[in-house]
Structure 1
Amino acid sequence: METLAGVTRMRLVGGNLALDYLNTRTGPPVGAPDDDVLAGYPELVAWGSYAGGLSEPEAKVLRRLSHDDPDGAQVAFTRALRLRDDLDEVFRAVASDRSPSASVLARLRDDEADALRHARLDRGRTFSWTWRDDASLARPTRPVVHAAVQLLTTGALDRIKGCGGCRFLFYDESKNRSRRWCSMDDCGTSEKIRRYVAARRTRAAG
C-alpha cells in the first residue's frame, strides 16, 4: 500500500487525466492489480494536486474539509473508487475493441451530469468547464469524469491502448499509432533487455 509520498512517485503517462486516474493501480497487463496508490482520501487529494486536477489552494481546502468531516470524506473516497472501477471497465473495453456494458455507461453519464452541475463555464482563450467554486469532498473526481467523457466523445478511440508490459492505459499520440508501452524508460526498456538476454542465450546455445 502506498503513502502520500508514493503518489508523487507515480508515472503520469496516460496522456489524459482519466487514464492517469486508472493508472493509480499497478500490476501486470492481465489479472488483478498488485498495488494501489489511493489508500484513502488524503491520497486522493494528493493525486488530484499532483496530476493537475486540483490547485494547491483547492487541495488545502479539501484537506481541511476531510479533517472536519471524516465520515463524509470516506463516503467521497468510496465513490471515487467506484468511479475508477467503472472507468477501468469502460476504457479496457475500448482498448480491446469491445463495447462497455450499458449499466456502467449509464453511471458515467450520471456522474458527468452531476459534475457539470457543480461546474462553471469560464473563458480563457476558449471557453472551458472549471470547478473553481466547488468546495465539496467530491471535488477531486469532477475533472476526471469530465476528461473521461470528453475522451470518449471527441477522442480517437483506436488510440486508447494498454501497455504491453503492465496494466497501465494510455492515449497513443504517435504519428503512426505504433506506441506499445506506457513508457520507454520503464516497460519499453524492460522489454528491450528481455529480448537482448533471450538473443544472447540463443546465440550461446547455437
Structure 2
Amino acid sequence: MGGNLALDFINTRSGPPVGPPDDDVLTGYPELVAWAAYAGALREPEAAALRRLSRDDPDGAHAAFARSLRVRDDLDEVFRAVAADQDPSTSVLARLRDDEADALGHARLDRGRTFGWTWRDDQTLARPLRPVVHAAVQLLTTGALNRIKGCRGCRFLFNDESKNRSRRWCSMDDCGTSEKMRRYVAARRAKPRPLVHPDER
C-alpha cells in the first residue's frame, strides 16, 4: 500500500490522520518477523531461523524489537516531515545514517540483473530491520520526494506513483470511499429542504 518497504513499515500503525495511532501490527518480535516475511523483507527459511534464534535468546529478541519500534518512530518522523514539505530534525537523520551504516555493515553485494545489497547471510536478530532502513535511505536519496504523501483519510503514508501525481488516499476502496461517503452525507445535510405548505402535509 505504501509503495515502498520503509513506508509499509511505518504503516504497521493505523489510525486517524491526526493524533496518536489506535492500532499496531507490531506487538512483539514474532510479529516483526511475520510482518517482514509478509512484506518480502525475509524469505520464509530466514523467518523460521529468526524465530528459533529468538526463542534461544529472548533478551536479544526483546532488544531487537525495541530497536525496531525506535526505527519506526524515526522513519515516521522523517517521512511525515517530507510529506509536509518540511525538514526532518538533524538528530533523527543522524540516527538514520547510523542505522544505514549498520545495515550495510551486515550486507553483501549480490549480482542479479544489476548488483544490489542483500542480507542473506545475516543471522542476527536485527535482520528484519536492515532492508527497511536501506529502503528508507534509497527513497530519500534517489526518489522523488514530492511523491511522498499522507493519506487524507488515515495516518498511512504512500509513494504516489500515479502519472499525474493525484493520488490522495492509501486505498480508494477504504479511505477514498469512506471520505466520499462522508462528503455526500454532509452535502445532503447542508442542502436546504423545500418548504412544505400545511395543506400538502
TM range (shorter): over 0.9
> How many residues are aligned here?
194
Q: Equivalences for 1:91-170 in 2 at 5 Å? A: 91-170=79-158
Answer yes or no: is 1:34 the counterpart of 2:17: no
Query: Which is greater in Rg?
Result: 2
**Aligned residues: percent identity?**
81
Partner of 1:205: 193
TM-score scaled by structure 2?
A: 0.94
One of 70, 86, 108 as aligned partner of 1:82: 70
Equivalent residue letter for 2:14:
T
Distance (whole Å) between structure 1 residues aligned to residue 153 and residue 117 of structure 2: 35
| Alpha-carbon shift at residue 193 of structure 1 (Å) | 1.0
C-alpha distance in structure 2 between counterparts of 1:131 and 1:184, whole Å: 35
3-state SS of paired residue (1:79): helix
Match for 2:31: what amino acid? E
Amino acid in the other structure paired with 2:54: S
2:116 counterpart SS class = strand
Mapping of residues 164-203 of structure 1, within 5 Å: 164-203=152-191
Secondary structure of residue in 2 paired with 1:129: strand
Residue 139 of structure 1 aligns to a residue in which SS?
coil
Q: CA deviation at 1:204?
A: 5.9
Q: Does 1:73 align with 2:61?
A: yes
Deviation track 1:141-181 (CA, whole Å, cap 9, x = no partner) reads: 00000000000000000000000000000000011111100
Unaligned runs of 5+ in 1: 1-12
CA distance, structure 2, for counterparts of residue 193 and residue 57 of structure 1: 44
Give unmatched runs, 5+ long, in structure 2. 195-201
> Distance in 1 between the 2:8 and 2:127 partners?
17
Q: Which amino acid aligns with 2:50?
A: L
Distance in 1 separating the partners of 2:29 and 2:75: 19
- Letter paired with 1:79: R
- What are the within-5 Å matches in structure 2 for residues 23-62 of structure 1? 23-62=11-50
Distance in 1 (CA, whole Å) between partners of 2:25 and 2:32 is 9
Once the two structures are superposed, residues 52-89 of structure 1 have per-residue CA deviations (whole angstroms, 9 ceiling, x without a partner) of: 10000000000000000000000000001000010011
How far did 1:115 drift? 0.3
Output the amino acid matched with 1:41. Y
Cα shift readout 1:184-203 (whole Å, capped 9, x = no counterpart) = 01000101111222233334
Name the aligned partner's letter for residue 128 of structure 1: G
Looking at structure 2, the residues matched to 57 and 72 of structure 1 have their Cα atoms a distance apart, in angstroms, of 20
